[in-house]
Amino acid sequence: MLARALPFSMSFVTRGLTRPHLVSPTQRASTKVPRQPALRTFTSNTTRPRTGVRPFWSNLRQGQKQQRGYRQPFNYNRFRATRSGFRKWASHPHFYYHVAGIGGFVGGVYVYNLEEVPVSHRRRFNIVSPETEAKTGQMMYEQTLQEYGRQILPASHPKSRMVQRVLNRLIPHSGLESEKWEVHVINDDMKNAFVIPGGKVFVFSGILDVCQGDDGLAAVLGHEIAHNVAHHAAERMSQSNFLLAFAVIGSLLLGIDAGFGNLFVDYAFMRPGSRAQESEADYIGLLMMAESCYNPEAAMELWARMEKEEQGAPPQFLSTHPSNHNRLEKIREWLPEADMKREEGDCGGVGGYASDFRSAFQRSRW
């Protein structure tokens, strides 16, 4: 940089020494000698030294980014560019026709794929076919076996036999008899249980102590089976695809940062939807266990014990779920209906809700 600056300074000196008599005072006063630009470093890639050595504060910042999980701020340049593009589109003479066309198409797709959940009769959006749900369930099943395969208790184990015994009483009242049901008890203290689409049941041994018998276990299994009865897995996949498209469109048209859009979708739509599904599974599972001749009041006792076990914090399989207090209040409201369902049934036949399950399961959505 110094060598590059020397020719300029020498040329000015040479001009001043060799030709002083040609410059008048008036010309000298009106003539402005260009100022040599100051030498600056670390302002751009072209002005940085080629040695590759960075100052200490630069290395420190890099280390802080790696150690603290530094997150880049929102891309404001992209926001400005997208906002400029949106303004150009908004100034188009047919802008409102475009918006109406897009809105009509999205609304038509949404309305066309609305369906009714069995038993609860809630209207919901679902674009995932039973075949896709089954394939997804098979993938989840293989991944779960790969993760917990060595901890699975044999079918002859007393805990496995207990789960199988309760499941055998619940399945006839679920409408899912055609599924290939399999029981897997994982030898782990975790208080968790789930049923994968396709009839694959996984129960962690830690939750059996909280159940304190067949009635409590029936409340847990009834809740998890109800997720399959209502096809909540397909509903979640449908919501994810639809809301992801909504977030992408919002990012492109309005210049909303993708990270903020995903966060908004999660808290505004996904989590409330998950809580609605959990409450719905509580309702369906409660009626199912009552029709299977289990005491529905055991469900309230179970959730009360779970709340005490976790000291107010939601257990793992209740994440993004309603609070235990709200759950208990809802079950208390549904208990009269569950008791009536238990009294009307002969505990060996198939009640009205079981036929409702079957008709919903056999009905094609396509």
CA distance 149 to 186: 8
**Bridge-partner residues for 193, per DSSP?**
203
C-beta of residue 290 within 8 angstroms of C-beta of residue 339: yes
Tell me the residue ranges of DSSP E strands in 7-86: none
CA distance 351 to 289: 12
C-beta of residue 242 within 8 angstroms of C-beta of residue 127: yes
- The residue written with tokens 């940062």 in the block is 257
CA distance 113 to 110: 5
The distance in angstroms from the start CA to the end CA of the chain is: 73
CA distance 325 to 329: 6
Number of neighbouring beta carbons within 10 Å of residue 60: 11
Q: What six digits make up the tokens of 229? A: 């009865």
Please, what is the angle between helix 352-362 and helix 214-229, to 10°?
30
**Containing H/E element for 106?**
helix 95-112
Catalytic residue among 116, 177, 179, 224: 224
**Bridge-partner residues for 194, per DSSP?**
202
Strands 182-186 and 200-204: parallel
CA distance 156 to 2: 86
C-beta of residue 124 within 8 angstroms of C-beta of residue 235: yes
In sequence order, what DSSP letters do the residues of 349-366 get, joined into one string? S--HHHHHHHHHHHS---
CA distance 294 to 214: 8
224 assigned to active site: yes
Q: Could you give the residue numbers annotated as active site?
A: 224
